Amino acid sequence: MSRTETHRRSTRPGRAGIRDVAAAAGVSITTVSDALNGKGRLPDATRNHVREVAERLGYRPSAAARTLRTGKSGLIGLTVTTYGDEPFAFTEFAYFAEMARAATSAALARGYALVILPATSRHDVWSNVALDGTVVIDPSDQDAVVTELVRQGLPVVSDAGPPAPCP
């Protein structure tokens, strides 16, 4: 192993990158990308060899690279309108906890992860997370977070609020 390879591995312990797979397989980075993504005109033997090397090295695609390539983060935001000063007080109520559970299950089933963010007037919290869409539970009238999310062009879905309490 060369000094460069030793340094590269030491900066990412336990995680093989696409360059590591290319070096170990004796092919270019483009060939690795094509082989792992089922693209390009590669001989089956090359495609299989690259996949075997990637598996042996424990290669996992970079989420950051995927986001740059596709423009999709694989993240869905979830928030609940906040009443009072505590942003996550909603977790004390079964309805909201069940909504969060259901949203998480639905997101995972479709290949997304759910990120729970506070309902806040500080929109920078939301703009600093790359989201593909949002779920807003119990939005208030003229909700500032919803308004900002829509302005940013993010898809927003809602439950239209909790049911009225039973008499």
Q: What is the chain's pLDDT, residue by residue, as a tens digit (167 residues)?
A: 444 444 344 344 567 889 999 999 999 999 998 998 888 899 999 999 999 999 999 998 777 777 677 778 889 988 876 655 665 566 677 888 888 889 999 999 998 999 888 776 565 677 778 889 988 887 877 777 788 788 888 888 888 754 445 45
For position 11, what pLDDT does the model report? 42
For position 122, what pLDDT does the model report? 60
For position 111, what pLDDT does the model report? 86
User: Residue 68: exposed, middle, or buried by beta-carbon count in 10 A (0-12, 13-18, 19+)?
Assistant: exposed
Strands (E) located in the chain = 75-80, 113-116, 133-137, 156-158
Which two tokens mark 104?
Answer: 């998480």
For position 59, what pLDDT does the model report? 92
For position 67, what pLDDT does the model report? 67
* Nearest CA among 109, 117, 124, 104 for reference residue 77: 117
Distance CA 146, CA 107 (A): 20
Q: Could you give phi then psi for residue 136, rounded to 5 degrees?
A: -115, 120
Q: Could you give phi then psi for residue 78, rounded to 5 degrees?
A: -135, 135
Write down all domains in the chain, each with its CATH number in brackets. 3-61 (1.10.260.40), 69-158 (3.40.50.2300)
Record the pTM: 0.58
| CB distance 146 to 136 below 8 Å | yes
